[in-house]
Chain A
Amino acid sequence: MSNADFVEQYYERIATDQDYRARLLADPVAVVCEEFGYTPGPDLKIEIVEQADDTIVIMVPPKPDAGLDMEKELTRATEQVFDLLFSSGVGGFFIPDDTQKWILREIRLASQKKTDS
């Protein structure tokens, strides 16, 4: 199974296997890490954003660090509005902070190693 197939099959499983979906929602860190073959650090937090055919999801940028100019940050964050319209679906990870970026890369790497072996 190639890494590309792994991703598609994983989304297919999440969409159609109700028990698996329920487990993922109940304990995202454990289920994602098990699936990707990644060992989580103590601080890893994953939240699942469920898409549904009747639901508009709004993701508000996180509050800027104290000391930053609020108006400037408001302009910066909300002038970059991203509309994601999905037909059959767009899945993936949203990573608010650069430090989280490297964790996701490790997760991806783990899944690649897992599917290559």
Chain B
Amino acid sequence: MAARTVNRSTMEETSVSGDFERELTRRVWTDDAFAEQVESDPAEALRSMGVEVPAGVKVRVVAQRRDTIYFTIPPARDPQSPPPPAVLNQMDLWSSKGLFIWLVPVAAKFKLLALRDAARKEEIRS
């Protein structure tokens, strides 16, 4: 819990800068309680940053761990449903440590813009 006290002061100095990726990463790196919450209850954790998750979309946050390989798998599909129009592509990201990654269904890409915009507006307000 001592770490949390230290982090609180860091948080006060750095309100949301409008750069969602940077602020989220900062919170995950410096605030252990937030890091846990963002994985268990992402919508609420993002709300505490002033970012509202747009309606109709879910958000999942994965804080990458260095000792883990992440295997991303396609959406589940009814076996009777027609196959998707294009084959699934395989793409390995060999240094994901150095990247902030969004995995976004095409249908949700404008929701992603709304989410990022929420972070920017929060900055303009403050």
CA–CA, A77 and B28, complex, Å: 13
- Chain A interfacial residues counted at CB < 8 A: 65
Interface residues of A: mostly helix, strand, loop or mixed?
A: mixed
Evaluate contact between B62 and A47: CB separation under 8 angstroms: yes
Residues 95-126 of chain B, each 1 if its beta carbon lies under 8 Å from chain A, else 0 = 11111111111111101100100000000000
The contact of A77 among B25, B93, B94, by CB within 8 Å, is B25
Within 8 A of B (CB), among A81-103: 81-101, 103
Evaluate contact between A58 and B22: CB separation under 8 angstroms: no
The contact of A54 among B56, B67, B100, by CB within 8 Å, is B56
The contact of B25 among A14, A78, A103, by CB within 8 Å, is A78
* A76 within 8 Å of B (CB atoms): yes
A94 and B104 in contact (CB under 8 A), knowing A56-B111, A58-B24, A89-B89? no
Evaluate contact between A101 and B94: CB separation under 8 angstroms: yes
In chain A, what residue has the closest Cβ to B101?
A: A59
Evaluate contact between B88 and A88: CB separation under 8 angstroms: yes
B97 to chain A: which residues have CB within 8 Å?
Answer: 61-62, 77, 96-97
Residues 66-82 of chain A, each 1 if its beta carbon lies under 8 Å from chain B, else 0 = 00001000111110111
The contact of A90 among B25, B28, B88, B112, by CB within 8 Å, is B88
Name which of A24, A47, A75, A95 has the most chain B CB atoms within 10 A of its CB: A95
* A60 within 8 Å of B (CB atoms): yes
CA–CA, A89 and B27, complex, Å: 30
**Which chain A residues have a beta carbon within 8 Å of chain B's beta carbons?**
7-8, 11-12, 14-18, 21, 24, 28, 32, 43-64, 70, 74-78, 80-101, 103-104
